[in-house]
Amino acid sequence: MFGVNSSSSGGALTWLLAAGTQAPIESPRSVPDGLSWLRRRAGGAGIPPVAARPATSATPAPPAVLLGGQALATLVIALGMAAVLLLVARLAYGVSMPVGALAAAAIAVVVGTLSFACIGYAVAGLVGSPDSAQPIVQATLLPLYFISGVWIPLASLGHTLRSIASLFPVEHLANSLHLASVMGSFGTALHPADLLVLAAWGAGAAVLAVRRFSWLPSPATA
């Protein structure tokens, strides 16, 4: 499903990155921002804006609980997407993966999704407007796709670009999924170093997101 080389894993990786970042980077960074965000989404779905109003009387939850719950919800979506990809690969193309490789891929999906969800929330807290978060994050991720082995094999890139890519989490998630797609056993399909880098990025981003979270409106959207 994920292909037989680094570049062909781009489709699956793009799906997982979308699950990990789409909701966070569009999410509000404060409660008043959130009410306007919910009203925009409700209006687009044909739901009366009043449906979002009961949130104003709810007891505020700790930021860590709120962001953690949303990250877990994003993880459920990503796991569902991965399961659909595996099912389509099996039924439509006759591609199967050994149990050990599936377990390694599942671990990579879990760690990668949670990491990118936390990164998305951290970025949302640094951007002044929820509407500008999506373009900013996409402008950041697209160049990383090109130098991280998602669309172009790392072997085709220069040493400098590979060194830069190794500093960011995209390359490590791409490599984790690539190994899971071409290796037959759990021991060879799992690369702990990549998972540690992803976890470090996620932990740092989670701390930043919690500290930047505010129950008050941001100046850009007040």
Q: What is the mean pLDDT of residues 137-159?
A: 86
Residue 44 has pLDDT above 50, yes or no: no
Q: What is the mean pLDDT of residues 92-109?
A: 90
Q: Is residue 112 part of a domain?
A: yes
- The beta strands (E) that lie in the chain are given as none
Q: Is residue 75 part of a domain?
A: yes
| Tokens 């490590």, located at residue | 172
Task: Round to whole Å and give the CA distance between 152 and 32.
Answer: 42
Q: Could you tell me the two tokens for 146?
A: 């090109």
Buried b (16+ CB within 10 A) or exposed e, 66-88: bbbebbeebbebbbebbeebbee
Q: Dmax of the chain from CA atoms?
A: 56
Q: What is the mean pLDDT of residues 167-181?
A: 91
Q: Is residue 217 part of a domain?
A: no
Range of the domain at 103: 7-27+67-212
Q: Is residue 19 part of a domain?
A: yes
DSSP state of 155: G
Lowest model confidence (mean pLDDT) among 30-39, 115-124, 168-177: 30-39
Q: What pLDDT band is residue 151 in, cutting at 50, 70 and 90?
A: confident
Buried b (16+ CB within 10 A) or exposed e, 19-55: bbbbbbbbbbbbbbbbbebbbeeeeeeeeeeeebeee
Q: Is residue 91 part of a domain?
A: yes
Answer yes or no: are the C-beta atoms of 154 and 5 closer than 8 Å.
no
Domain count, the chain: 1
Task: Round to whole Å and give the CA distance between 158 and 168.
Answer: 16
Residue 177 has pLDDT above 80, yes or no: yes
Q: What pLDDT band is residue 216 in, cutting at 50, 70 and 90?
A: low
Q: Is residue 140 part of a domain?
A: yes
Q: Is residue 39 part of a domain?
A: no
Q: Could you tell me the two tokens for 89?
A: 């690969």
Q: Give the range with max mean pLDDT: 43-47, 124-128, 142-146, 202-206.
A: 202-206
Q: Is residue 143 part of a domain?
A: yes
- The beta strands (E) that lie in 7-61 are given as none
Answer yes or no: are the C-beta atoms of 141 and 66 closer than 8 Å.
no
Question: Using CB atoms within 10 A of its CB, is residue 212 exposed (0-12), middle (13-18) or buried (19+)?
Answer: middle
More confident site: 34 or 144: 144
Closest CA to 77 of 120, 137, 40, 36: 120
Residue 31 has pLDDT above 50, yes or no: no
